[in-house]
Amino acid sequence: MTGIDKRPVDGPVAVAAPGPKGTGAVGLAGDRAYDVKHHGGFDQAVYAYAREDLDGWEARLGRSLANGVFGENLTTLGLDVNGALIGERWRIGPDAVLEVSCARIPCATFQGWLEREGWIKQFTQAARPGAYLRVIEPGEIRAADPVEIVHRPHHDVTVALVFRAMTLEPQLLPRLLVAEALPEEGKELARRRTSP
């Protein structure tokens, strides 16, 4: 079973912190993760992907890609998701505040869902992963709610940089340590790389 099949909804959706990884809980009401070892929990409560990046993939793949097709809970428009800083906070709608925590790392479920041989490698080389977010303040969100950046930390560690460091360019791992909001497993990987 998989929770990757996301579809647009009408009306509000409640967003709340899901608790620790391992239960399948995620941040949006009505959603869940089935690979509880790798998905869900506080640091992967919500997944955002930019419509502009989906449009780029449509051109490359020669097929239409609906909002949600990459398993994203939020398909954004006019927001540089991959350029977002780790620890950046977004207000969505009147109440919900989400914090950028880490990059999405592609898995076999993602490749199987798109039914495309070599997809993990192609997605990784493009380095347009989208962002996982944690819930700082719960609330309700709706389609077309504006996303307002309400906080940007004082470092240069973007979602794209984290992704490159954790996949194709491990020499970048030491740079991640300045991002306090990075999940502990990412910090530990960076520390190991930095240690003599």
Query: Which residues does the chain have with pLDDT short of 70?
Result: 195-196
The continuous run of DSSP H or E covering 176 comes out as none
Dihedral of CA atoms 184, 159, 44, 58 in degrees, nearest 10, equals: -150
Q: What is the pLDDT of residue 16?
A: 97
CA distance 101 to 43: 6
Backbone angles phi, psi at 40, to 5 degrees: 90, -175
Q: What is the pLDDT of residue 4?
A: 82
On the CB side of 54, CA atoms within 13 Å amount to 20
Q: What is the pLDDT of residue 195?
A: 66
Backbone angles phi, psi at 148, to 5 degrees: -110, 125
**135 phi-psi bin (left φ>0, alpha ψ -120 to 50, beta other):** beta
Residues 6+ apart with CB under 8 A from 54: 65, 67, 69, 70, 75
Q: What is the pLDDT of residue 34?
A: 83
Q: Which among 48, 28, 55, 32 is positioned nearest to 141, based on CA atoms? A: 28
Q: What is the pLDDT of residue 55?
A: 97
Q: What is the pLDDT of residue 32?
A: 87
